[in-house]
């Protein structure tokens, strides 16, 4: 699709966009495509763990990024800077922008933080510069930055939170309505897992069209609000790889199992694992069991919400409280 970008209009001065993390309740890797990407079928939901991306019009002609919270690079390799420069070039915007990232989402954890920051930047700058870009234009641009970016763009345009089945390499987004708010326990090792390394280590199936039956059942359970059904059907084809690549991931998996959690599921390519819970009390109970080991064993425990309004539910040691 050709993107017919419009030039900047009447500028506003400043805005802040919440950039939520996500979990993959299903991640099926169907094979490698002729273009080198992987064919996916994934069910993702945004959660209340979120970064804040503040965008300000500035003098000059550069994109300048500052960061608080978790340390990340601030140069051209950062997806925020890459996204802003891409949009400036395509829309012929000559203004500078100052971006401040309050980084809360762990890095290299399979929670989509970089992609969500990129989507927040893309949607935010489109508004800041009054570019009046259509959804399909924003999603096409997002796909140039990363495979998960279109999902987060679509969520931004629908109030900031939600769930979808994403196919292709992730750029085809089909919205899925949650039956209610979900509660998650997140456990994040100190070290991350390289997404590139995880995909390289994966033994791929050869059929690019055969979606596993339990993936479809997971979508149905999600729409019914069937937590037990979701636990039983959820799958991640990268879980075995993530556990093999990361000692921290293996340690967390073992600790979650020994603590009696009913699920220990890797999100994305890892290293974060999660357990979907049926209530806040259940999630906090499991989190408390794990919290006593987090300092000695080198992981972080958070409670997060997903579902309608899930990005607006921070609390004490709930996701969104910082780290």
- Is 148 annotated as catalytic? yes
Q: Active site residue: 102, 117, 148, 237, which one?
A: 148
Both tokens of 282, joined, read: 């259940």
Tell me how far apart the alpha carbons of residues 57 and 36 are, in angstroms, rounded to a whole number: 37
User: What does the angle CA 184 – CA 190 – CA 192 come to, to the nearest 5 degrees?
Assistant: 85
How far, in Å, CA of 252 to CA of 263, rounded? Answer: 12
Q: What is the dihedral of CA 92, 56, 49, 81, to 10 degrees?
A: 40
Inter-residue contact 307 to 54 (CB < 8 Å):
no
Q: Of 150, 181, 185, give the one whose Cα is nearest residue 165.
A: 150
Write b or e for each residue in 141-164: b if 16 or more Cβ atoms lie within 10 A of its Cβ, otherwise e.
Answer: bbbebbbbbbbbbbbbbeebbbbb
Question: Alpha carbon 188 to chain centroid distance?
Answer: 14
Confirm whether 237 is a catalytic residue: no
Beta strands in 59-205 (DSSP E): 63-69, 96-103, 163-168, 172-176, 182-189
Q: Please tell me the distance from the alpha carbon of residue 62 to that of residue 75, in angstroms, as a whole number.
A: 11
> Residue 56: enclosing H or E segment and its boundaries?
strand 38-58
> Of 22, 103, 217, 219, which one is the catalytic site residue?
22
283 neighbors 256 (Cβ within 8 angstroms): no
C-alpha–C-alpha distance, residues 230 and 220, integer Å? 9
What positions carry a catalytic annotation?
A: 22, 148
């Amino acid at each position: 699709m050709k993107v017919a970008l419009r030039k900047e209009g009447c500028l506003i001065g400043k805005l802040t966009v919440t950039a939520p993390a996500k979990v993959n309740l299903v991640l099926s890797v169907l094979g490698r495509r002729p273009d080198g990407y992987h064919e996916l079928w994934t069910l993702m939901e945004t959660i209340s763990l979120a970064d804040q991306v503040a965008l300000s019009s500035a003098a000059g002609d550069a994109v300048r990024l500052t960061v608080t919270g978790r340390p990340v690079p601030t140069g051209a390799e950062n997806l925020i800077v890459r996204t802003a420069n891409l949009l400036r070039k395509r829309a012929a915007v000559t203004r500078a922008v100052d971006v401040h990232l309050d980084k809360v989402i762990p890095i290299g954890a399979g929670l989509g933080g970089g992609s969500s920051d990129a989507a927040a930047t893309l949607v935010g700058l489109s508004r800041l510069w009054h570019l009046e870009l259509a959804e399909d234009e924003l999603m096409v641009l997002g796909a140039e930055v990363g495979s998960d970016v279109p999902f987060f763009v679509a969520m931004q345009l629908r109030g900031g939170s939600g769930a979808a089945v994403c196919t292709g390499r992730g750029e085809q987004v089909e919205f899925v309505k949650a039956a209610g708010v979900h509660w998650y326990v997140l456990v994040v090792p100190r070290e991350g897992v390289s997404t590139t390394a995880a995909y390289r280590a994966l033994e791929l199936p050869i059929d690019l069209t055969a979606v596993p039956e339990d993936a479809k059942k997971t979508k149905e359970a999600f729409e019914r609000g069937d937590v037990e059904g979701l636990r039983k059907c959820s799958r991640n084809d990268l879980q075995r790889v993530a556990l093999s690549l990361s000692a921290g991931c293996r340690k967390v998996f073992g600790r979650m199992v020994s603590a009696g959690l009913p699920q220990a599921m890797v999100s994305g390519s890892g290293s974060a694992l999660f357990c979907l819970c049926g209530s806040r009390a259940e999630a906090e109970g499991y989190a408390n069991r794990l919290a006593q080991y987090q300092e000695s064993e080198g992981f972080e425990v958070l409670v997060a919400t997903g579902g309608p309004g899930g990005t607006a539910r921070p609390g004490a040691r709930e996701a969104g409280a910082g780290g």
